[in-house]
Amino acid sequence: QLQLQESGPGLVKPSETLSLTCTVSGGSISSSSYYWGWIRQPPGKGLEWIGSIYYSGSTYYNPSLKSRVTISVDTSKNQFSLKLSSVTAADTAVYYCARRGIAAARWEDYWGQGTLVTVSS
Amino acid sequence: DIQMTQSPSSLSASVGDRVTITCQASQDISNYLNWYQQKPGKAPKLLIYDASNLETGVPSRFSGSGSGTDFTFTISSLQPEDIATYYCQQYDNLPRVTFGGGTKVEIK
């Protein structure tokens, strides 16, 4: 059974960089059939796609966040990571990592449990 | 960017009622639309894919329809366990996706 688990600081200061890692277990991140992505949800609000990465390292970002986002993959550790720079209180959210199919099953079929990141001094 | 307008933002209905949620895309997305259910404190769960296909294991009271720009999600007979927030999601240009604003469904 595939599992995804987010990890990283739960509290980040304004103007600093938010860093999260998603560890994939029970399957390989190097599959050619999937994208690996980050989605966030501010408290009491809706879902926002942040960006995705392919195992080869190709990245795709939400245009509204593109200037501040970097997603990377480490296939040797079966992990992918998110960095969001210059954070403000508006970046306070539950951050989910998820797997999405490319050809068949073009949806998020596995999600992490989500991790709350609060931006506050 | 493709925008998804979902309505209503919330609704209250009685057990057994038929519930309908709509989602409108800002441009033609064919049938590249999914519907998710999210319960408090949990990750979203896929219910409907490609606008009208029921995910395996999902009760048949859930259904979806539409293509192009206008889509509908229906619960034919609302059950207490259906209390959740529902989101549409377009995937016309993978892996870039956009979610609707969500519809919170409550029991009257």
Here the tokens at position A20 are 């999260």
- In order, the DSSP letters of A36-74 are EEEEEE-TTS--EEEEEE-TTS-EEE-TTTTTTEEEEEE
- A71 pLDDT tier (thresholds 50, 70, 90): very high
**Contact between B65 and A81 (Cβ < 8 Å):** no
Chain A residues within an 8 Å CB radius of B95: 35, 37, 52, 60, 100, 102
Query: In angstroms, rounded to a whole number, what is the distance separating the alpha carbons of residues B45 and A3?
Result: 15
How close is the nearest chain A Cα to the Cα of B42, in Å? 7
Report how far apart, in Å, the C-alpha atoms of A45 and of each of A65, A90, A94 are: 17, 11, 10
Chain B residues within an 8 Å CB radius of A105: 49
Please tell me which of the candidates A52, A107, A113 has its beta carbon nearest to residue B46: A107
Residue with tokens 């033609």: B28
Here the tokens at position A79 are 């992990």
* pLDDT tens, position by position, A98-112: 999 998 889 999 999
Query: In angstroms, rounded to a whole number, what is the distance separating the alpha carbons of residues B52 and B35?
Result: 9
Q: What is the pLDDT of residue A104?
A: 81
Q: What is the pLDDT of residue B62?
A: 98
Strand partners, A7: A21
List residues of chain B with CB under 8 Å from any CB of chain A. Answer: 1, 32, 34, 38, 43-44, 46, 49-50, 87, 89, 91, 94-102
Counting as low any pLDDT under 70, the low residues of chain B are none
Q: Three-class SS of residue B58? A: coil
Say if strands B10-13 and B96-99 run parallel, antiparallel, or are unpaired.
unpaired
* pLDDT tens, position by position, B34-46: 999 999 999 999 9
Query: In angstroms, rounded to a whole number, what is the distance separating the alpha carbons of residues B67 and A118?
Result: 39
* pLDDT tens, position by position, A21-69: 999 999 999 999 999 999 999 999 999 999 999 999 999 999 999 999 9
Among chain A residues, the shortest Cα distance to B89 is held by: A107
- Whole-angstrom distance between the N-terminal and C-terminal Cα of chain B? 37
Burial class (CB in 10 A: 0-12, 13-18, 19+), B73: buried
CB contact under 8 A, B99 and A48: yes
Query: In angstroms, rounded to a whole number, what is the distance separating the alpha carbons of residues B28 and B2?
Result: 9
Here the tokens at position B27 are 């441009």
**Contact between B47 and B54 (Cβ < 8 Å):** yes
Please tell me which of the candidates B46, B49, B101 has its beta carbon nearest to residue A46: B101
